[in-house]
A and B are shown apart, each in its own frame.
Chain A
Amino acid sequence: MNKKKSISYAKWGYIFILPFFISFFIFSLIPLADTIRLSFYEYYRATLKIVGPNYVGFQNYKELLSSDMLVYAKNTAILWIIGFIPQIVIALLLASWFADIRMKIRGAQVFKVIIYLPNIIMASAFAMLFFTLFSTNGPVNSILLQMGVVTKAIDFMGTPFGVRSLVATMNFLMWFGNSTIMLMAAIMGISPDVVEAAEIDGCNGYKRFFYITLPMIRPILTYSLIVSMIGGLQMFDVPQILTNGQGNPDRTTMTLIMFLNKHLRANNYGMAGALSVYLFIVSGILCFIVYKITMDDDKTGTKAEEKAKKKREKERLKQMKKEGK
């Protein structure tokens, strides 16, 4: 009876998940297959006529490696790192303060609302705003001039350091609030017993942070790192709008997705395909790590404990086997 019932309901499970999978199949899987297929073809538009598609094997991949792709990969990495480091440091600091009940931060809710605000702002509008604010005759320069900090307007958009700093600043502003709130939730999830026990043993503020808080939130820190890496890999809106797609100066702020965008707009199907596959492989690896972390149903918060549990279980089984013998 019971079995029959569950069989008759099973079909509804399929029906309910069908729209998701149809949509995913049509709009993601078919495009992915098409992208991979074309990455092996010579297929592009040269002014008026279309060249290809001719099968060329791995030639597009090789050509990309000898092109500027690696330079753009380096740019992307630099832009991500100089935004991410201050972001995670500040977020850890703020999160541990917000989560500390004895730190009575006045207006904590208001601060949280303010620091999260840049995250919901349209990245392209934010970049356009920075572009106008930091132009040579823009408000930032006129403030600096009026205050007498500088005697000559700074050309922020003229140096690699200037543009990279602007991109990193924007990324920092857009994401540190988000990280703060994520990490705060993780810290607040640490069992009070652990903290109490540590305190009885004479663990003070700094020690508590380094020996209790940090190890306990390691899984979510790793998660933040990897998700941020994937975000960094996709970096596009901010540098694209800020430099009008040029990656100025001298393509030092050209990211991988900006490069992909260029190929897509030029209808370079073969090259765009190969570049997409490279990106797919890298993000696939990162996705796998995220999958591992998310599916790791570890309530205590440390992987080590989980492993220890498994080990104990194994030993117990061994013991049982021995006893059985």
Chain B
Amino acid sequence: MKTKKINFSLIFAHVLLVILSFMCLFFFYILFVNATRSHADLQKGFAALPGKYMIENFIKVANDGTIPMIKGVRNSLIISSACALLCTYFSALTAYGLYAYEFKLKKIAFTFIMAILVMPTQVTAMGFLRLITKLGLYNTFWPLIIPSIASPAVFYFMYSYMQSSLPLSLVEAARIDGAGEFRTFNTIVMPIMKPAVAVQAIFTFVGSWNNYFVPALVLQDKGKMTVPVLIATLRGADFKSFDSGKIYMTILVAIVPIVIVYVLLSKYIIAGITLGGVKE
């Protein structure tokens, strides 16, 4: 009786999982198929198998002057990589400062960061825009990169990781060996933090790559726009006159780099999701 019950729920679990997986993959499969078909083919209706126009569609996207996707991918790569680098390094540095040292304002600083852990950036967007305009940083990459130094969530992740994997005796030992504080951080702490840095670098990169709200307000030149801003331009354009194969290819170009990163690193990403959350 008992085994029968378990079997039934096991079947149900698999059926539901297959349905959900199908839902997750179906839309991307259509995207892929449609990106490989010509406009004329697409007008005829749906097809389950890919066509032969993939290269042709890609060339059309690459040569489009109104929506410069290749430049967009380059811009997004620059901004996201810089964000991932700055964010992980300075978050680890901040976490180390609060973890390894005793000082008067330590508790206040920690409490403050924890209080703004999940504060949305949108609420300060207006002041932010006015400020960067005054600083002459409007329509540049800098306002999208530098603020990533202060990322409370990444800080918290690094801090938790240090609590579990960085014994302070190690730091003491380095001090006895005469290493300076910065050198200790760079040559001893950072290598130990590598797994945490890697996971957070991936998440920061993906977050920055997908970020739309702020870049859309800051970047005005077509040549400087990131991928999500260009996608919005595509949506705003009179796309009825567009080659629909090209539209699908544009969307495909926007998501493929991240999907590749994801497939290669999925093991670490899945394991990393829970590390930063509440440990219970």
A residues with a Cβ closer than 8 A to B are 6, 9-17, 19-21, 23-24, 26-28, 30-35, 38, 90, 93-94, 97, 102-106, 109, 111-118, 120-133, 137, 139, 142-143, 145-146, 173, 176-178, 181-182, 184-186, 189, 205, 217, 219-220, 223, 227, 230, 233-234, 236-237, 240-241, 244-245, 257, 260-261, 264-265, 269, 272-273, 276-277, 279-280, 283-284, 286-288, 290-291, 293-295, 298, 301
Question: Looking at chain B, what size class is its interface with the partner chain?
Answer: 35 or more
Q: Beyond A17-B98, A181-B273, A287-B115: 19 further Cβ-contacts under 8 Å?
A: A21-B109, A28-B147, A31-B126, A34-B131, A111-B21, A114-B25, A117-B28, A117-B259, A121-B255, A122-B209, A122-B255, A139-B46, A189-B279, A219-B280, A241-B235, A276-B123, A284-B119, A286-B118, A298-B280
Mark each residue of chain B from 1 to 44: 1 if its CB lies under 8 Å from any CB of chain A, else 0.
00001100110011011001101110110110010000000010
How far is it, in angstroms, between the C-alpha of A114 and the C-alpha of B117 when the chains are bound? 28
B53 at interface (Cβ–Cβ under 8 A)? no
Contacts of B100 in A (CB 8 A): 13
Shortest beta-carbon distance, A154 to chain B, in Å? 14
Binding site for A on B (CB under 8 A): 5-6, 9-10, 13-14, 16-17, 20-21, 23-25, 27-28, 30-31, 34, 43, 45-46, 90-91, 93-94, 96-98, 100-106, 109, 113-131, 143, 146-147, 149-150, 155-156, 181, 185, 206, 209-210, 212-213, 216-217, 227-228, 231-232, 234-236, 244, 247-248, 251, 254-255, 258-259, 262-263, 266-267, 269-270, 273-274, 277-280
Report Cα–Cα, A103/B17, bound state, in Å: 13
Whether the Cβ atoms of B274 and A236 lie closer than 8 Å is no
Q: Chain A's nearest CB lies how many Å from the CB of B238?
A: 11
Q: How distant is the Cα of A225 from the Cα of B116 in the complex, in angstroms?
A: 17
Q: Which of B25, B126, B150, B210 contacts A273 (CB 8 A)?
A: B126
CB pairs A–B below 8 angstroms (17 shown): A9-B102, A16-B93, A16-B185, A17-B109, A27-B131, A31-B130, A105-B14, A124-B212, A128-B231, A128-B247, A132-B248, A133-B27, A178-B273, A185-B277, A205-B9, A237-B210, A269-B126
Contact A106/B14 with A12-B181, A114-B21, A276-B126 known, Cβ cut-off 8 Å: yes
Task: Decide if B212 touches A237 in the complex (CB within 8 Å).
Answer: yes
Do B129 and A116 touch (CB < 8 A)? no
User: Is the pair B46, A143 in contact by a Cβ cutoff of 8 Å?
Assistant: yes
A117 nearest CB neighbor, chain B only = B24
Given the known inter-chain contacts A124-B212, A279-B123, A283-B119, please indicate yes or no for A114 contacting B150, CB distance below 8 A: no
In the assembled complex, the CB of A316 is this many whole angstroms from the nearest CB of chain B, namely 26
Whether A31 and B127, one on each chain, are in contact in the complex, defined by CB atoms closer than 8 angstroms, is yes
